[in-house]
Amino acid sequence: MLPGCLALTGDSTRSKPVATQKEARSLMSDLSPLAGSIRADQLNGGCFCVGVDQAALAAALDRETDIPGFAGDLAKTHPWLFARSPVFLPAETLGRMMDVVAAAETAVVLPAYREAALAWTPPLARRDPGPLGAFMGYDFHVTPVGPKLIEINTNAGGAFLNAVLARSQQACCAGVVAGFETPGPATFQQHVGEMFRNEWRLQNGKGTPETFAILDDDPLAQALYPEFRLAQTQLRAVGFEALIGDPRDLKLEGDVLTLGGVRVDIVYNRLVDFLLEEPTHAVLRQAYERDLVVVTPNPHIYSRLADKHNLTLLSDPERLCRWGLAANHAAVLAAAVPRTVLVRSKNAAELWADRRNWFFKPVRGHASKAAYRGAKLTRRVWEEIKASAYVAQAYAAPGQRRIQPDEAPVSLKVDVRVYTYGGRILLAAARLYQGQTTNMRTPGGGFAPVLVLPAVVVDTDPCAGAGTSSTGTACHDRW
């Protein structure tokens, strides 16, 4: 029995002790299967009549970047950036995802958790300057027993692109998407402006920023450079100046950080050097250390949330309970975070023998680089993993979306990303792909809108749009 670890019963005013991790996980079992899962599975299995309005998407991209021809050029350089089909998600599932976000962000502020998480970080990351981290990304696989949190990202790309994509839908099945609303451009811009202003206030207490620097190494060469252009125009639309730059071009002039001779107040950080350790980022690191600029997301937030070491903590509800996490939050994490362990010499033989049930990730990796499904591992790669810093995560299969890019339908893997700020949702989007990990090279794949199915929908034929006694399988059977 764990002192102070209480499990909620049906009556939230009463409680009982939780003895084991297994018991904590069982607390969520009564919530599966989700009420809308069957309908979502049917639509994801073959609804081809809801898609992206390519003309509307192109017009929106040109308009929101204020660059005529932007969308046409993007289609040539990034042919598989946007999928043409959405992913259907039950409202209940999205609700559970947000429960996971709430539980995780409650856990990471516990003193014992912070001490453990910051123990494997350098001194720079241990200081908390205040910001919460712009555009947090929580990545999920949707499984038959509920959503599984695969990882947390502090520089989650795609939010600006997905905001435009979500508004470019065409549907013949009004009954399917009834009740789903996508924030318009002005609303999204407002949320973005409020988020960054709050980041400034959390570090500086008062005033307002004037100039942003959207920073990445060699930004013109980045796969998501088009998003930097979108971010620039969106920030300008809410009253900020916004520059796109390389951190090598930053200068410290006394107590002022500049880019191209312009003072920088906030850095929207898209670097994958999460701890600012590379020599080319020395000026930014010095400005951050001296509190001369707001950096978001920053090394502290990364170390507390996105370093994959931390999945070993978030997947251990018994330890979280001992540290003071409420049992309802511990139960949510127990059900949603696959067991994760550090790869060490003492468990290497066991992990290799059971490798088909694990997924291996570098502790400070990004963009699925050097991440491997155990079933595909070779001995050579395994030796490299053992010699590096890796975690092993219990394998949770991604969802599936059946699409029809040409004549024959194909099935693509799905992961769902929830973009948040301060625990509140900004946007949900999906990525469709083939292969071991997400990528933007799959024909028919790429970023996909998430259409949330309301808990109660009019019972219509989703392909014909007419009132019938359909169970929602018409699109599924269509091909």
pLDDT in tens, 145-188: 999 999 999 988 899 999 998 888 765 554 555 444 556 667 88
- How far CA 145 is from CA of 25, 100, 142, 338, 450, in Å, comes to 12, 14, 8, 12, 19
In one-letter notation, the amino acid at residue 255 is D
pLDDT in tens, 290-310: 999 999 999 999 999 999 999
pLDDT at 6: 37
Cβ(274)–Cβ(306) under 8 Å? yes
- DSSP H or E stretch at residue 138: strand 136-143
pLDDT at 2: 35
Work out the burial of residue 17: count CB atoms within 10 Å of its CB; fewer than 13 is exposed, 13-18 middle, 19 or more buried.
Answer: middle
- Is 278 in a helix, a strand, or coil? coil
Cβ(318)–Cβ(25) under 8 Å? no
pLDDT in tens, 22-67: 433 343 333 333 445 668 888 898 787 667 788 889 998 998 888 8
Distance from C-alpha of 133 to C-alpha of 130, rounded to nearest angstrom? 9
pLDDT at 67: 86
pLDDT at 263: 97
Work out the burial of residue 259: count CB atoms within 10 Å of its CB; fewer than 13 is exposed, 13-18 middle, 19 or more buried.
Answer: buried
As given in the structure block, the two tokens for residue 149 are: 């949190």
pLDDT at 250: 98
- How far CA 60 is from CA of 64, 72, 185, 295, in Å, comes to 6, 12, 10, 29
| DSSP assignments along 408-437, one per residue | S-EEEEEEEEEEEETTEEEEEEEEEE-SSS
In the block, which residue shows the tokens 């962000």? Answer: 105
As given in the structure block, the two tokens for residue 222 are: 């980045």
Cβ(25)–Cβ(317) under 8 Å? yes
Parts of the chain with a pLDDT under 50: 1-35, 174, 178-180, 457-479
pLDDT at 36: 58
Distance from C-alpha of 242 to C-alpha of 228, rounded to nearest angstrom? 10
First to last CA, the chain: 55
